[in-house]
Amino acid sequence: MSKNNASSDPSVEALKLDNQLCFALYGAANRMTRLYRPLLDAMGLTYPQYLVMLVLWESSPRTVGALGEALDLDSSTLTPLLKRLEAAGLVERHRDPEDERRVIVDLSEAGRALREQAKAIPEQMICALDLQMDAISTLRERLKVLAR
Amino acid sequence: MSKNNASSDPSVEALKLDNQLCFALYGAANRMTRLYRPLLDAMGLTYPQYLVMLVLWESSPRTVGALGEALDLDSSTLTPLLKRLEAAGLVERHRDPEDERRVIVDLSEAGRALREQAKAIPEQMICALDLQMDAISTLRERLKVLAR
DNA sequence: TGAAGTTATATTGCGCGCGATTAAATCGCA
DNA sequence: TGCGATTTAATCGCGCGCAATATAACTTCA
């Protein structure tokens, strides 16, 4: 009875949404941003902006290029996002005097201060996900392999 | 030596990008769409459009609402996407005469034909991912739980 | 030195996602 | 019947992602 809903043609079966890793990933990622939204709204951040702040909280200043490397995003995504963070007073941007091609992004005082508020987020998310920590870690590590 | 890079403050540790399931998911999902892009370009589809076509190939016609339920998307995303698919000649849209609130989306002949071309995609992706089928299935099922 | 090649960021255009709102059709029920 | 509530799509605005392109700064090397 294991072939209850299985077509005899494997290429037909493979096209079913339910069998697609890509859709599971797509759906899970969309859900995740929706789950974060209420928490991030309270901090005035979007989800990608939050990821940028995570990188900067870990180590700053960084160049736009270094941020892009960490997040696997390019300048066409980051430049406007960073301008919005700058307009919000969370980061400062200036050309590197050593090499005027580079733009150095640093946290402002407000940006640094926001970290205290952010510290509560991971725990709230872990609760919201309702998964064991080891399940989360396992999934995370497998996804990293996928994003290699 | 297990605490090599560990801060003594767990809330600091939890904020590191590398420890975030959300970022692993975000990165993996972005990578996935980039991996699909060259294959889908050849078919004239974007990644979300491909997902819509997967749903329709499985069962059509469907209402906009039913598509949204299957994909966890709402009409503000689907309506413009479906109009583009219609403009590309892959689907037809018309109001349900039974209930004029509903819009019924059906495959055109070209849309149905495109399925033959799509049949090659899952295998190509599995190769590109370079993962065992059981690893893919396991990951997929765990992501579905996350997107519950 | 200076012209060609390379690197770093910015700009443009397009297609999502989604919150908020609107508009129209249908339903429920007094 | 008729009117308020509900359902279904569509519309609008904004912020990504990213391909393609542009621009400016640096490097190389003849």
Q: Mapped to the 3 state alphabet, what secondary structure does chain A carry?
A: CCCCCCCCCHHHHHCCHHHCHHHHHHHHHHHHHHHHHHHHHCCCCCHHHHHHHHHHHHCCCEEHHHHHHHHCCCHHHHHHHHHHHHHCCCEEEEEECCEEEEEEEEECHHHHHHHHHHCCHHHHHHHHHCCCHHHHHHHHHHHHHHCC
**Which amino acid is present at B22?**
C
* pLDDT value of position B6: 54
**pLDDT higher for B147 or A48?**
A48
Reported as type and span, the H/E element at residue B106 is: strand B99-107
pLDDT band at B49 (very low <50, low <70, confident <90, very high): very high
**The pLDDT of residue B9:** 76
Q: What are the C-alpha distances in Å from A48 to residues A33, A51, B14, B118?
A: 9, 5, 17, 32
Q: Do the beta carbons of residue A147 and residue B28 sit within 8 Å?
A: yes
Burial B9-38 (b: 16+ CB within 10 A, else e): eeeeebbbbeebbbbbbbbbbbbbbebbee
Checking if the pLDDT of B2 tops 50, the result is no
From A47, A57, A143, residue closest to B24, measured CB to CB: A143
Mean pLDDT calculated for residue range B46-52: 98
- Per run of 10 residues, the mean pLDDT along chain A (length 148 residues) is 56 91 97 97 98 97 98 98 98 97 98 97 92 93 90
Share of chain B above pLDDT 90, in %: 86
In this prediction, residue A60 carries a pLDDT of 93
pLDDT of residue A6: 55
Q: What is the CA radius of gyration of chain A?
A: 20
CB of residue A103 closer than 7 A to nucleic acid strand D? no
B3: contact with A, CB 8 A cutoff: no
Given this model, what pLDDT does residue B1 score?
43
The mean pLDDT value for B58-67 works out to: 97
Residue B24 · residue A144 · CB < 8 Å:
yes
pLDDT at A76: 98
pLDDT of residue A2: 42
Q: Provide the percentage of residues in chain B whose pLDDT is more than 70.
A: 95
Kindly indicate the confidence band of residue B76, based on its pLDDT and cuts at 50, 70 and 90: very high
**Position with higher pLDDT, B123 vs B8:** B123
Q: How distant is C1' of D13 from CA of B131, in Å?
A: 41
Tell me which residue in A33, A48, A147 faces B24 most closely, judged by beta carbons.
Answer: A147
Sign of CA dihedral B77, A74, A33, B130: positive
Q: What is the predicted pLDDT for the residue at A9?
A: 78
Question: With a CB-CB cutoff of 8 Å, which residues 54-113 of chain B face chain A?
Answer: 54-55, 57-58, 70-73
